[in-house]
């Protein structure tokens, strides 16, 4: 005995809103179990006719055959094996998978706006791995519409058989309508026909989740716990990382994340820079995630810190809506390394894993530390001088500049500016940096103000004797400087 599913493509009554947000494939399930074709060929009899020649040079049968080729290039474990047969009607549950035109679905009228219907049967009991086997599928194209074959935007009044075939063949493989599960998605598997004329990344992720990826035998770089990708999370900041879990697997000894079997995990790790609170979430990921945080150094000996399957309220599951996003919040200890696993419910995977970390550190109070000391300077009289200091500390420190050990009134910034300095400004400058935890005084910055030795043409030679020669004035200035230096010694 087998059970029948009816799946259909709806013609949009109005313009379909542009939907290019988080992708979110859905697969047809029996309960929570997947329904899959046995590995190998899926024979398909195409009975759509070979006339007329259509816009793209194909006919209805070769256009449908091209739709099968498109899926065959995407998946590994199964392949459509088309045969072009004479045009004609198909038979329900006759042991042959058929594509054909008809004005009803094995005697049942098409619903309003329905372009095509895929009928499917599955085994009534599961296989040893818990999945069910697809046993037969037929695709019926509605003769009430005008059909052709073309790429690109939809044309008025003429349906593109190719894209409808790709959509219906997606149902044959086991894909469902993501938008009917509350997802906003750019996918040919959406329930309404659109300008999308080929499988999107999301459609491919869904099909490859069911039937694996051609030519790919290795998982992503952070598939294994030991290869967890190190994360940098700035204090008081949010970081969103992206990755892919396509072809990821589950390791021997790996725990079930969020108490679900999963099967396609990838790993990140982070060493806490402070004590604090860390939120991790998978919002925007293209599949239904499992998320867990651990400490430990071996995949088979981890200590669970936090885990979550779905954060959405339970009320959402009352309708045909999939709960998908996982969120955990954990208290972290400075210096401890945490490991984060993102897995997919029932082993779902995708090329679009979004992982957002939000870290609220508890940064302890600390006494000031001077990271850049003020520097000694030697200038001439009249120069402008700026001393500066750079310090850290929590809470933010205050500053007091000193000259020869005495506080300078009003000098309470990170810089000390002296304009037009005189020799009397020479001295030893320091800055005291303080907060509620402690204080520190900078190293000494000596200011040396040298007397000017500028030659002058007036005023230097005493009264009445005429201007002294430049040489004479310069000699006087040099002599004065020498004496001044002597006195200091
Ligand atoms: Zn459909």
Q: What pLDDT, in 10s, does the model give residues 270-325?
A: 999 999 999 999 988 889 999 999 999 999 999 999 999 988 665 555 445 667 88
Q: Separation of 49 CA from ligand 1 center, angstroms?
A: 23
Helix (H) or strand (E) holding 318: none
34 C-alpha to ligand 1 centroid (Å): 17
What local confidence, expressed as pLDDT, does residue 459 receive?
45
Q: What separation in Å is there between the alpha carbon of 176 and the centre of ligand 1?
A: 7
Ligand 1 centroid from CA 350, angstroms: 21
Distance from Cα 117 to the centre of ligand 1, integer Å? 7
Q: Give distance in angstroms: CA of 8 to centre of ligand 1.
A: 4
User: d(Cα 332, Cα 156) in Å, to the nearest integer?
Assistant: 59
Q: Strands of 312-418 (E only): list them.
A: 327-332, 337-344, 353-362, 366-372, 377-380, 385-388, 390-394, 398-403, 406-407, 415-418
Residue 38: is its pLDDT beyond 50? yes
CATH fold, domain 366-450, is Immunoglobulin-like (2.60.40)
3-state secondary structure of 424: helix
Summarize pLDDT for 170-191 with one digit per residue, the tens: 999 999 998 888 777 889 999 9
Strands 266-271 and 229-230: parallel
- Measured in Å, residue 55 CA sits from the centre of ligand 1 at 24
Q: What digits encode the pLDDT tens for the residues 68-87?
A: 999 999 999 999 999 999 99
Q: What is the distance in A from the centroid of ligand 1 to the CA of 206?
A: 14
**3 state SS of 245:** coil
- Residue 425: closest CA among 442, 443, 444, 450: 450
* Tens digit of each residue's pLDDT (9 = 90 or more) over 88-114: 999 998 999 999 999 999 999 999 999
Give the distance between the most distant pair of CA atoms in the chain.
132
Output the CA 292–ligand 1 centroid distance in Å.
34
**What spacing in Å lies between the alpha carbon of 113 and ligand 1's midpoint?**
12
**Residue 100 β-bridge partners:** 47, 140
Report the helix count and the strand count for the chain, using DSSP H and E. 4, 33
Distance 361 CA to ligand 1 centre (A): 48
Q: Which two tokens stand for residue 471?
A: 């040489």
Q: For residue 192, how far is its CA from the centre of ligand 1 (angstroms)?
A: 8
Homologous superfamily of 2-211: Collagenase (Catalytic Domain) (3.40.390.10)
Nearest to 47, CA basis, from 127, 170, 165: 165
Domain boundaries along the sequence of the chain = 2-211, 225-362, 366-450
Give residue 366 CA to ligand 1 midpoint distance, Å.
Answer: 62
Q: Is 2.60.40.10 the CATH number for 225-362?
A: no
Nearest Cα to Cα of residue 40 among 75, 88, 85, 16: 75
Query: What's the gap in Å between 164 CA and the centre of ligand 1?
Result: 9
Q: How far is the CA of 165 from the centre of ligand 1 (A)?
A: 10
Q: What are 285's two structure tokens?
A: 């990921």
If one compares 254 and 472, the residue with the highest pLDDT of the two is: 254
């Amino acid at each position: 005995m087998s059970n029948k599913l009816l799946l259909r493509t709806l013609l949009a009554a109005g313009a379909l809103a542009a939907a290019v947000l988080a992708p979110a494939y859905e697969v047809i399930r029996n309960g929570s179990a997947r329904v899959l074709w046995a590995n190998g060929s899926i024979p398909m009899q195409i009975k759509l006719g070979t006339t007329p020649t259509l816009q793209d040079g194909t006919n209805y049968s070769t256009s449908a055959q091209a739709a099968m080729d498109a899926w065959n290039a995407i998946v590994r474990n199964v392949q459509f094996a088309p045969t072009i047969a004479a045009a004609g009607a198909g038979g329900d549950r006759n042991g042959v998978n058929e594509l054909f035109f008809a004005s009803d679905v094995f005697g049942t009228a098409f619903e309003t706006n329905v372009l095509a219907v895929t009928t499917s049967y599955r085994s009534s009991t599961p296989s040893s791995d818990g999945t069910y086997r697809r046993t037969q599928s037929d695709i019926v194209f509605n003769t009430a519409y005008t059909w052709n074959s073309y790429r690109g935007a939809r044309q008025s009044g003429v349906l593109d058989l190719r894209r409808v075939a790709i959509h219906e063949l997606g149902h044959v493989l086991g894909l469902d309508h993501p938008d009917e599960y509350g997802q906003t998605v750019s996918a040919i598997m959406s329930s309404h026909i659109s300008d999308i004329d080929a499988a999107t990344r999301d459609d491919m992720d869904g099909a490859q989740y069911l039937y694996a990826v051609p030519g790919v035998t290795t998982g992503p770089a952070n598939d294994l716990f030991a290869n967890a990708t190190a994360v940098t999370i700035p204090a008081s900041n949010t970081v969103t990382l992206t990755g892919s879990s396509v072809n990821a697997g589950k390791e021997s000894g790996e725990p079930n994340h969020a108490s679900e079997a999963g099967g396609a995990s990838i790993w990140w790790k982070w060493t806490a820079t402070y004590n604090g609170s860390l939120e991790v979430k998978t919002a925007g990921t293209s599949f239904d995630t499992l998320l867990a945080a651990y400490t430990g150094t071996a995949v088979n000996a981890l200590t669970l810190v936090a885990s979550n399957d779905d954060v959405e309220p339970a009320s959402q599951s009352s309708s045909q809506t999939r709960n998908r996003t996982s969120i955990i919040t954990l208290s972290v200890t400075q210096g401890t390394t945490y490991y984060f696993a993102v897995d997919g419910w029932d082993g779902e995977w995708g090329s679009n894993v979004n992982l957002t970390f939000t870290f609220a550190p508890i940064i302890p109070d600390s006494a000031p530390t001077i990271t850049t000391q003020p520097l000694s300077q030697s200038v001439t009289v009249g120069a402008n001088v700026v001393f500066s200091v750079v310090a850290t500390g929590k809470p933010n420190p205050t500053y007091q500049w000193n000259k020869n050990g005495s506080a300078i009134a009003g000098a309470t910034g990170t810089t000390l500016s002296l304009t037009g300095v005189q020799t009397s400004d020479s001295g030893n400058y320091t800055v005291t940096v303080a907060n509620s935890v402690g204080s520190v005084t900078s190293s000494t910055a000596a200011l040396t103000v040298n007397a000017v030795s500028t030659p002058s043409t007036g005023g230097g030679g005493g009264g009445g004797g005429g201007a002294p020669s430049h040489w004479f004035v310069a000699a006087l200035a040099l002599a004065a400087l020498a004496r001044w230096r002597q006195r200091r010694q």
